Each structure stands twice: as structure tokens, then as C-alpha cells.
Amino acid sequence: MTKNKHIFRVILTMLLCFTTLAFSQNRKLELETRRLELRREIQKMNALQAENKSKAKSELSLIEDFNYKISVLNNLIKITNQQANYLSREINANQKKISALRDELKALKEDYAAMIVKSYKSKNKQSRVMFLLSSNDFKQAYKRLQYIKQYTNHQRQQGETIKAKTQELQQTNQDLLKQRAEKEKLIADNRTTQKTLESTRQQHEVLMRSIKKNINKYTAQIRAKQQEAARIDREIEKIIKAAIVLSNKRAGKSTSSTNFALTPEEKILASNFLANKGKLPWPVESGIVKVRYGTQPHPINRSLTIKSNGVRIVTEKGEQVRAVFNGEVIGVITLKNVNPLVMVRHGNYITTYKNLSKVYVKEGDKVTTKQLIGEVATNKASGETILSFVVSKESTTQDPSTWIYKM
């Protein structure tokens, strides 16, 4: 019973070791994937800035750029530090493992040497044949034969164990050298990132000092932009409410309802849209999120807030806009001094694509996932190409980053 308990404890310990190792490897892979994503974001931002270098960006836009870059650089440093810490723990574990393996090998070799000496002395004093012939009976001879076989097997197994442990020690030493090299590289990368962060912060501070001298002028510009955004949002809300009224009217229900009256086909569409939450494609093939969803303090005047009903994606000039899921176009809005926007309904969910220079669809059109519906407009003065993207359920907006894959 005691032996069974011991075996059970050994198996349980092995399982825990394997589980911990698997978790550690998965976590390392996640961190490395995220680190590479952040580096690509920075490269993309630098490329977009280089593309628009000849354009005179507004101070408001430049501050947004700096804030975005500082945020990404901070995240990159944080992720890289986590990776370095993981490697430190692995290095320490491997150093302990190497020490334990060396002690184990020493004991195994000493035991093996003792067996060889004993076997040699045994051969000198009495041959195996004489050992067997001197048995009192057949039963004793059989047992002595089994003992000789077991002893020989044990010697061989001991030799194989020493060989395996030696190989394991060599491999662990190689792993240790590789981990140390990886850690040194991460530390060097972090030093470079830290320098870039400090330079970006200094540029940000210089620009902020300049802005604060004319804070009233910039506050007026911010308020004007917010009023324009609110006007667009009101138009979007009107179209959604009109679509809800129409759906209820067709279903013979109260037109005062704030929810869509869905047909069986629309219910399936809405269910499929929800089932793909977190897996929907980006509305543009390439881009980075410059402004995220939600209410946040304005980077220039902290007494003002940014109410972002969606996300703003910086992309390349001439970038095509795609529908993120199957649906029906319920609105193509063109307001004075505002670039067109397209609204697509997916059952009781709606996606909105703002700031288009070209529109390829019209109201009532059926669209499919990744179908091109327009082209993102490029600001002639700043050279920036930004798509505003919104997801809503009925009239309630939702965070697009929870719907779009890896946003």
C-alpha cells in the first residue's frame, strides 16, 4: 500500500511538472507574440508618419500621435520585462537542475564503479559456472541464475542511465546558454526602447508647453470638433431609430419599441454575428487604432473629455473599407463639410464606417463579409487617412475591440 502511494505521488509530481512547463511555454509564447505585435505597431506608426512627413499636421493630431506612441512603447517595455523575468526564473531553475544532475551523475558513477569492482572480484574468486554448480539443489541453482541475470541487467541499466543523464545535462547546459543569450538580447532591446520613449516624451513635453501658451485657442478647436462629432452621432441615431420603427411596423408591432422586430432570417444573422464576437475581420486590411472606445480625458485639456463611440484607425492612403460581416446597408449619410459614412445592419447589430472618400454601396444593398464598401478619406492638409468604426446593438454603442480580431 505504501509503495502504491509513493508511485501515485511520483506520477502526480510529474503531471504537475508537465502542466507547469506547458503553462510556462504558452505564457512565453503569448508574451513573445504580443511583443512582436507591439513592435509592428510602432513600425507601422513610423512608416505612416514618414509617409506624411511633408504634411503640416495640427498640434492636436501630433499630441494624439505622441500619446499613442508613448502608450505602445510603455506596453512594449512592460511585456519585454515580463519576458526577461520569465527567462530569469527558467535560468535559475536550470541552474538548480544542472547542480542536481551533477550530484546524481556523481552518485550513479560511484555506484556503477563499485558494481564493476565487485563483479571483477567475484570473477577472480569464483567463476559463475562454479557459483551455479555449487548449488545444493536445482531450485537454488535457478535462483542463482536469476540473480546473475538481474545483476547483469542492473549494470547495463545503470550504464544507460548514466548515458541518458549525461545527455540531459549537456542539453540543459545548452538550454541555459540559449536562455542567457535571449535574456541579454531582450535587455538590449529594452534599452533601445527606453531611449526612444524618453525622446518621444521630450518631444511631447516641448509641444505641450507650446500648446499651453494658446490653450484657449486649442480648447475652442476641440469643442468645435466635439460638436461636429455629436452632430454625426445624432444623424446615425436617427437612421437606427427609423430602421427600428420600420422593422416593428412590418411585424405589426408597436412602433414605439426601441428594439428591432427581427424576422427568423434576421435572428439567425444576429446570432451568427454574436457568435463571431472577437473573431470579426478588421474593417481595413492594414491599420492601427489611434483612439480607442469610451470616455477619456482629452490629452491637451484634461478638463475636457473625449467621448469616443467607436475607434479611430489610422491606415494608408487609398485604403479600402470592408464590411466586417454579412448584412444590409441601412444608410449612406453625407452631411455638409463631413465625408460620407456607411451603416450596415446585421440583425439587431449595426456597424458604421465613417470618413469615406468613395462609397461603393447604396441603401438596401446586401453585403457579405470583407466585401469592399468604400475607400477611406485622406485629409489633404495633414495627409492622415483615418477610418472611424462603430459597433452598436440597436442604439447602444459597444467597444469594437471586443468584436474585432486582435484589435
Q: Can you give the pLDDT at residue 124?
A: 45
Looking at the DSSP assignment, which residues form a beta bridge with residue 390? Answer: 352
Closest CA to 398 of 318, 309, 306, 284: 309
Q: Can you give the pLDDT at residue 196?
A: 93
Contacts of 237 (CB under 8 A, 6+ apart): 395
Going from the C-alpha of 402 to that of each of 291, 311, 314, the distances in angstroms are 15, 11, 19
Domain boundaries defined on the chain: 2-213, 219-402
3-state SS, residue 395: coil
Distance of alpha carbon 231 from alpha carbon 304, whole angstroms: 18
Q: Can you give the pLDDT at residue 297?
A: 84
**Burial code of 271-281, b = ≥16 C-beta within 10 A, e = fewer?**
eebeebeeebe
Q: In this structure, which CATH number among 2.40.160.40, 3.40.50.970, 1.10.600.10, 2.70.70.10 belongs to the domain 219-402?
A: 2.70.70.10
In the chain, what is the straight-line distance between the N-terminal and C-terminal CA atoms, in Å? 56
Q: Cell digits for 99?
A: 547542480
Alpha-helical (H) ranges within 251-320 are 264-275
Instruction: Tell me the average confidence (pLDDT) per consecutive run of 10 residues in the chain, 407 residues long.
Output: 54 55 72 87 80 67 86 92 88 81 77 66 53 64 66 68 77 84 91 93 90 85 87 93 94 92 96 98 94 87 85 95 98 92 98 98 98 95 91 97 95
pTM greater than the 0.75 cutoff: no
Q: Can you give the pLDDT at residue 33?
A: 87
